[in-house]
Amino acid sequence: MSKIARRIGSITLATTLTITAFAAIAVTGLSQSSAETASAASLGAPPPGPGTEPLHGQFVVAVVLGQSGSDTADVFAPYDVLASSPDFFVYTIAASAAPAVVDGGLSVVPAHTFAEVAEGTAPTPDLVVVPAVNSPAGAEEAPAREFIATQYNAGARILGICAGSRLLAASGVLDGLRATSHWSRIAALRTSNPQVSWVTGQRYVQDGRVTTTGGVTSSIPGSLKVIADMAGDTEANRVGDSIGYPGWKLDGPTAMPIKDFQVRRRCLFLEYSIPLGATEGCRRAERWRR
């Protein structure tokens, strides 16, 4: 047998042994995983993750999922910030137990339904987080509006995220209060809900038990402010430091540049008419205004 033939034979044998070994590992791992899953199911053990019931002393947070679709960042950003503190027990809630669609094609299976809270089979929230939904005044969001108003009237705090203020306004919670929203929604909200005092140029606005935030990233300092109010400054600073939100300080300013469509149009004009690099200041202002 030639050297070339022996070398080909050795390579073929090594390849076959390697494939066989990986196949054996895969089959063993799959069998073990299936066995563990069956054992957990047969024992009725809960899935891995946070506890299914709040601990004594924890603040209960319900993050609302709309039936018409919710803004992804509005749901997950405050959820993550609040869940970063052991002082908070956070869950998602919706009108039904069916998966709720969020922007981008994702679906979220809510942990509880509005009916379960009403029946007492789900933890009553101390804080209700309200993200932007696609049809805040639509019939499909009537259960969400009723839930929000009911919980607020029962004493819960409210955290409206970005254009979630549209759903809050439609629920009547903001009547007579100061509030903010995403900059692009303010003008329309002043027309549709004149009973609310709409504020611009602030990352968040707090009026009594209601906190509303500006654009998407403003949900982070807004959530940290709620943590400070409910769990104390020390915990808010700890969570804020762990998140590393640029420039954030608990006692820092909440003002941000006021943005409108005219400013946005000027930025777009500069983007397309001035050489690359000349509009970096405009881009930075754009990011900070969100």
pLDDT for res 52: 83
pLDDT for res 157: 98
Work out the end-to-end distance of the chain between its first and last CA atoms, rounded to an integer number of angstroms.
73
Residue 17 Cα distances to 5, 11, 25, 106, 188, angstroms: 18, 10, 12, 41, 68
Fill in the DSSP letter of residue 55. P
Long-range pairs, 78-81, Cβ under 8 A, ≥24: 78/129, 78/131, 78/159, 78/161, 78/219, 78/220, 78/222, 78/223, 79/129, 81/219, 81/220, 81/223, 81/224, 81/227, 81/239, 81/243
Residue 23: CB atoms within 10 Å: 10
pTM above 0.85, yes or no: no
Contact by Cβ (8 Å): 254, 206: no
Helix axes 233-243, 219-231, angle to 10 degrees: 150
The DSSP line for 145-178 is HHHHHHHHHTT-EEEE-TTHHHHHHHHTTTTTSE
pLDDT for res 114: 98
Contact by Cβ (8 Å): 58, 89: yes
pLDDT for res 76: 97
Q: Note down pLDDT in tens along the chain; length 290 residues.
A: 454 444 444 444 444 434 343 333 333 333 333 333 332 223 333 443 456 899 999 999 999 999 999 999 999 999 999 999 999 999 999 999 999 999 999 999 999 999 999 999 999 999 999 999 999 999 999 999 999 999 999 999 999 999 999 999 999 999 999 999 999 999 999 999 999 999 999 999 999 999 999 987 999 999 999 999 999 999 999 999 999 988 899 999 999 988 665 555 445 444 444 554 544 444 444 444 45
d(CA 26, CA 12): 21
Domain boundaries along the sequence of the chain = 1-45, 59-243, 257-290
pLDDT for res 247: 87
Strand partners, 160: 130, 212
- CATH architecture under which domain 59-243 falls: 3-Layer(aba) Sandwich (3.40)
